[in-house]
Amino acid sequence: MDLKHLHTFKVVAETKGFTKAAETLSYAQSSVTAQIQALEEELQTKLFDRLGKKIILTASGEKLLPYAVKLLEMHDAALNDITSANETPTGTLTIGAPESLAAFRLPAIIKQYTEKYPQVKLALRPGACWELRNLTRSGELDLAFTLETELSDPDLHIETLVIEEMALVAPPTHPLAAFDQLQTEDLRDVTFLHTEPGCSYRSLFEKHLNSRGIFTNTDLEFWSIEAIKNCVMSGLGVSFLPQIAVQNEIESRKLVALPWSDPSCSVATQMVYHPKKWMSPALKEFIEITREHAALWRN
């Protein structure tokens, strides 16, 4: 089997779409389709089913995926072993992160890394924190970043990089913006704009409200932080988001951080990887650069 075809197959499986895979790989969509068709012809089986606009693995595709992951890992390991004499990291790193970290924490890390190691191909996979931990555990991700309460896992190395400040934000004209200090009870009749289900800090915030008898049925749900911020600015409601995601809007007075906080709603940016996974030079260098940036975040 052609490793290039296997890599394309893996990315299609991860992104759940030929168009998204083409964007990730910088290929034409027709090239992605042709590679998958060639692989299916070689294996004499169908690897994906199309359900409307959704792409899912067939039973054969599910069987092939772990082999593809292992073969690509062995390929990268061989490349790195052979080229280790000149200490130049090569290969591919697949990194997972939720939207907030991908947009506001990782860009500086990725910029420094790609400038220093242009031979390494980085593939960034978005996802919910629980999903990213599972993918790291199964070996489909080399490294993941999560944003959730500090936790431990016997199967994973989980390293806290920084405790993130959270902000309950509203437009400057919102009635709650006039309060000197907000109590949780003041949030009883508020419309909240939430991130997608499974988001760690959404779950934490909802659990906090529910524990105080606050249950709302007017909440709105979005899959994009940018969409949430724009809707909050337009006056649709308030939202509980990482400070890093709303800092620019707060500084420009497009949003205000309401005077409310609760230590039980604290979350941390954490770096996650499998302790038994082969630590390639490329992965080692990415981890070290991440730790350098994390030290700056904490100061």
Residues 170 and 261 in one domain: yes
210 in a domain, yes or no? yes
Q: What is the pLDDT of residue 218?
A: 67
Q: What is the pLDDT of residue 198?
A: 75
Strand segments (E) across the chain: 48-51, 54-57, 91-97, 120-126, 143-148, 157-164, 166-170, 193-194, 220-221, 239-242, 256-257, 267-273
Q: Which residues contact 94 (CB under 8 A, 6 or more apart)?
A: 14, 123, 125, 140, 141, 142, 143
122 in a domain, yes or no? no
Residues 77 and 169 in one domain: no
Q: Decide: helix, strand or coil at residue 217.
A: coil
Half-sphere exposure of 121 (CA within 13 A, CB side): 9
Q: Decide: helix, strand or coil at residue 260.
A: coil
Q: What is the pLDDT of residue 62?
A: 93
| CB-based contact 268:183 (threshold 8 Å) | no
89 in a domain, yes or no? no
Q: What is the pLDDT of residue 86?
A: 54
149 in a domain, yes or no? no
C-alpha 173/C-alpha 253 separation (Å) is: 11
Q: How far is CA 196 from CA 126, 220, 223, 243, in A?
A: 12, 10, 5, 18
Q: What is the pLDDT of residue 84?
A: 57
- Give the residue numbers spanning the domain of 13: 1-82
Checking DSSP bridges between strand 157-164 and strand 143-148, what pairing results, if any?
unpaired
CATH code of the domain containing 231: 3.40.190.290
Q: What is the pLDDT of residue 97?
A: 95
88 in a domain, yes or no? no
61 in a domain, yes or no? yes
102 in a domain, yes or no? no
Beta bridge partners of 148: 268
The last residue of a domain, from among 46, 62, 82: 82
Q: What is the pLDDT of residue 87?
A: 62
pLDDT, one tens digit per residue, over 238-256 is: 999 999 999 999 999 999 9
Q: How many domains does the chain have?
A: 2
Show the low-confidence residues of the chain (pLDDT under 70).
80-87, 217-218, 263
CATH code of the domain containing 33: 1.10.10.10
Token pair recorded at residue 265: 């709603």
From the centroid of its chain, how far is CA 69?
Answer: 19
202 in a domain, yes or no? yes
